[in-house]
């Protein structure tokens, strides 16, 4: 295994990035979330084969060695922010953190628990600071307990469970760590490699990108336990860096330093370019925000048209906000599909209409979603609000939806006209606001003008036979009923 004898720079020289299809139909039970992080003993035999395709493993960054354990570090306050609370701490896409050791290795869970929480908090702060550089807000969504403390499971592997990444993944699967809405990041108490993680080679910009779904695993050994290494491997598991990126290294990293994901890796060992001279950028994602992470990519840019880790379902954005609805009204019966435009919709779980949840919610992109309006008993204007892990959008003038009663026709003037059509008819009634159509026995009139909620004008269409016909108005509240007050007579 390549460690320090290659003669290449020490900074993140190579990384194994999984490109094989990981199992997608796993049915084992997920261990319960617990503040005590119960110890789990794993069987000797695996029940699901681990993926086999990978190409090299990260070696330590400067100052670290695979062979030398990182000392425990107390949980800091002030300079290392705690993780963000997110809902119930368990449901939905989340990063789940584990400590794993072979059964013949002493248990150091208690000695390092505070350190794990510190390093994970550091990684979260790197994502947050990187998002702020492009004017956005992103936090990692973790499994946590009711007190918002990071849950770290204590897992016991077989004596060979730490021998390789494949062995570790296989035994984690056998233990039930198989949820398809999880990124399992494991601190492995071994000195075999530095870091390794799963990754999907999928650069499509849609939220249906493979990196938003399915189970992926990452492993950090004791010589590389740190916030930097954690953030590096987790960024891989969120889909960075795609080979199509402008500054791709050709090995799932980047070439424009300083950057937490950039180094001259295999197979090309490319020449690096210092595009961000500030050394602090080594703890930031995506120098110049053009390869894999930006909360505000320019229209038509690579990250606007390819996979952007900032849109990952495993990240929390700032609070959602609405800027437009289409349409802005519908019938009391509900059922209208409303397109909602705004910001920070990734991971939206609910859209409410004055507190009543809409149905068939589909998040199209971080700025667009579709939802079916629920029924309502009384006409009127209601507030529409979107809920994500980042909060609930505030009510505003752009987030109003009108429930309309069904239109009703009470009279017409004139009530008759010639077969050739062309007669301008004034119709009175109720709930005409937003009317889109007036029909004469199913044939649409022309030159429709909605004068008010109770009055409209329309020009009659031609007809071939004389006689009385039904006149019906279609508006957001539905279509008016037929009746004696809604008759128009064509005369020969």
Cis peptide bond prior to 414, omega within 30° of 0: yes
Kindly state whether residues 58 and 199 are assigned to the same domain. Answer: yes
What does the block give as tokens for 295?
């909360």
Kindly state whether residues 177 and 238 are assigned to the same domain. Answer: yes
In a domain, 121, yes or no: yes
Q: What is the mean pLDDT of residues 358-375?
A: 94
Residue 186: beta bridge partners?
Answer: 98, 219
Higher pLDDT, 412 or 73: 412
**Range scoring the smallest mean pLDDT among 9-13, 141-145, 205-209:** 9-13
| Single residue among 371, 404, 437 that ends a domain in this structure | 404
In a domain, 2, yes or no: no
What is the DSSP code (8-state) at residue 100? E
Closest CA to 218 of 49, 54, 46: 54
Kindly state whether residues 251 and 349 are assigned to the same domain. Answer: no
Q: Are 308 and 292 in contact (CB under 8 A)?
A: yes
Q: What percentage of the chain has pLDDT greater than the value 90?
A: 73
In a domain, 380, yes or no: yes
Kindly state whether residues 225 and 267 are assigned to the same domain. Answer: yes
Kindly state whether residues 185 and 277 are assigned to the same domain. Answer: yes
Kindly state whether residues 144 and 286 are assigned to the same domain. Answer: yes
> In whole angstroms, how far apart are CA 317 and each of 44, 363, 457?
41, 14, 48
Phi, then psi, of 31 in degrees rounded to 5: -60, 145
| Single residue among 290, 311, 332 that ends a domain in this structure | 311
Q: How many angstroms separate the CA atoms of 127 and 235, rounded?
A: 9
Phi, then psi, of 112 in degrees rounded to 5: -115, 0
Q: How many domains does the chain have?
A: 3
In a domain, 4, yes or no: no
Q: How many angstroms separate the CA atoms of 152 and 37, rounded?
A: 6
Kindly state whether residues 278 and 180 are assigned to the same domain. Answer: yes
pTM strictly above 0.75? no
Phi, then psi, of 468 in degrees rounded to 5: -80, 140
Kindly state whether residues 79 and 225 are assigned to the same domain. Answer: yes
Q: Residue 34: is it exposed, middle or buried by C-beta count within 10 angstroms (0-12/13-18/19+)?
A: exposed
Q: How many angstroms separate the CA atoms of 235 and 245, rounded?
A: 14
Q: Is 138 helix (H, G, I), strand (E, B) or coil?
A: strand
For 70, what's the count of Cα atoms within 13 Å in the CB-facing half-sphere? 27
Phi, then psi, of 446 in degrees rounded to 5: -120, 170
Kindly state whether residues 295 and 352 are assigned to the same domain. Answer: no
Kindly state whether residues 336 and 371 are assigned to the same domain. Answer: yes
- With cut-offs at 50, 70 and 90, classify the pLDDT of residue 14: very low
Q: Residue 220: is it exposed, middle or buried by C-beta count within 10 angstroms (0-12/13-18/19+)?
A: buried
Tell me the residue range of the domain where 457 lies: 408-491
Residue 37 has pLDDT above 70, yes or no: no
Q: What is the mean pLDDT of residues 342-351?
A: 89
Kindly state whether residues 30 and 67 are assigned to the same domain. Answer: yes
In a domain, 11, yes or no: no
User: Each residue of 285-321: pLDDT tens digit?
Assistant: 999 999 999 999 999 999 999 999 999 999 998 889 9
Q: Is 400 helix (H, G, I), strand (E, B) or coil?
A: strand
Q: How many angstroms separate the CA atoms of 21 and 199, rounded?
A: 9
Kindly state whether residues 210 and 324 are assigned to the same domain. Answer: no
Q: Residue 205: is it exposed, middle or buried by C-beta count within 10 angstroms (0-12/13-18/19+)?
A: middle
H-helix segments, 32-190: 109-132, 165-174
What does the block give as tokens for 108?
């150091």
In a domain, 12, yes or no: no
In a domain, 155, yes or no: yes
CATH number, domain of 483, equals 2.60.40.10
Say what the pLDDT of residue 391 is. Answer: 84
In a domain, 334, yes or no: yes
| Single residue among 404, 427, 445 that ends a domain in this structure | 404
């Amino acid at each position: 295994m390549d460690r320090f004898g290659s003669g290449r720079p020490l900074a993140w020289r190579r990384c194994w990035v999984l490109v094989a299809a990981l199992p997608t139909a796993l049915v084992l039970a997920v261990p319960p979330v617990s503040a005590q992080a119960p110890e789990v003993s794993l069987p000797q035999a695996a029940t699901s084969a681990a993926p086999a395709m990978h190409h090299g493993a990260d070696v330590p960054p400067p100052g670290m060695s695979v062979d030398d354990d990182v000392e425990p570090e107390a949980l800091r306050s002030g300079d290392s922010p705690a993780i963000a609370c997110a809902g119930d701490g368990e449901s939905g896409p989340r990063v789940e953190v584990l400590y794993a050791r072979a059964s013949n290795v002493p248990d150091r869970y208690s000695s390092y628990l505070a350190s794990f929480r510190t390093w994970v908090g550091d990684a979260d702060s790197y994502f947050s600071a990187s998002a702020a550089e492009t004017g956005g807000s992103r936090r990692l969504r973790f499994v946590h307990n009711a007190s918002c403390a990071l849950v770290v499971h204590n897992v016991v592997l077989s004596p060979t469970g730490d021998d390789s990444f494949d062995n570790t993944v296989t035994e984690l699967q056998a233990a039930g760590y198989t949820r398809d809405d999880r990124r399992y990041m494991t601190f492995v108490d071994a000195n075999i490699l530095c870091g390794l993680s799963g990754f999907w080679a999928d650069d499509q910009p849609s939220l249906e990108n493979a990196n938003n779904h399915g189970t992926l695993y990452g492993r950090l050994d004791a010589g590389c336990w740190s916030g930097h290494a954690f953030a590096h491997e987790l960024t891989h598991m969120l889909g960075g860096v795609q080979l199509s990126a402008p500054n791709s290294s050709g090995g799932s990293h980047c070439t424009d330093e300083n950057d937490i994901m950039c180094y001259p890796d295999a197979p090309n060992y490319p020449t690096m370019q210092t595009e961000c001279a500030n050394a602090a950028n080594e703890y930031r994602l995506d120098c110049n925000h053009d390869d894999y992470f930006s909360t505000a990519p320019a229209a038509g840019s690579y990250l606007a048209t390819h996979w952007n880790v900032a849109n990952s379902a495993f990240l929390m954005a700032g609070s959602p906000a609405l800027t437009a609805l289409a349409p802005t009204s519908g019938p009391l019966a509900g059922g209208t599909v409303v397109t909602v435009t705004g910001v920070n919709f990734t991971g939206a779980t609910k859209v409410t209409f004055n507190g009543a949840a809409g149905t068939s919610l589909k998040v199209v992109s971080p700025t667009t979603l579709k939802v079916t309006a629920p029924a309502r008993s009384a006409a009127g204007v209601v507030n529409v609000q979107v809920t994500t892990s980042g909060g609930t959008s505030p009510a505003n003038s752009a987030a109003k939806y009108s429930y309309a009663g069904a239109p009703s026709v009470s009279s017409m003037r004139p009530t008759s006209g010639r077969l050739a059509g062309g007669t301008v008819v004034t119709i009175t009634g109720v709930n005409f606001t937003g009317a889109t159509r007036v029909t004469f026995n199913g044939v649409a009139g022309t030159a429709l003008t909605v004068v008010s909620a109770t009055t409209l004008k329309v020009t009659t269409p031609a007809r071939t036979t004389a006689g009385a016909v039904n006149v019906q108005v279609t508006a957001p509240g539905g279509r008016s009923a037929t009746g004696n007050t809604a008759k128009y007579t064509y005369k020969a």
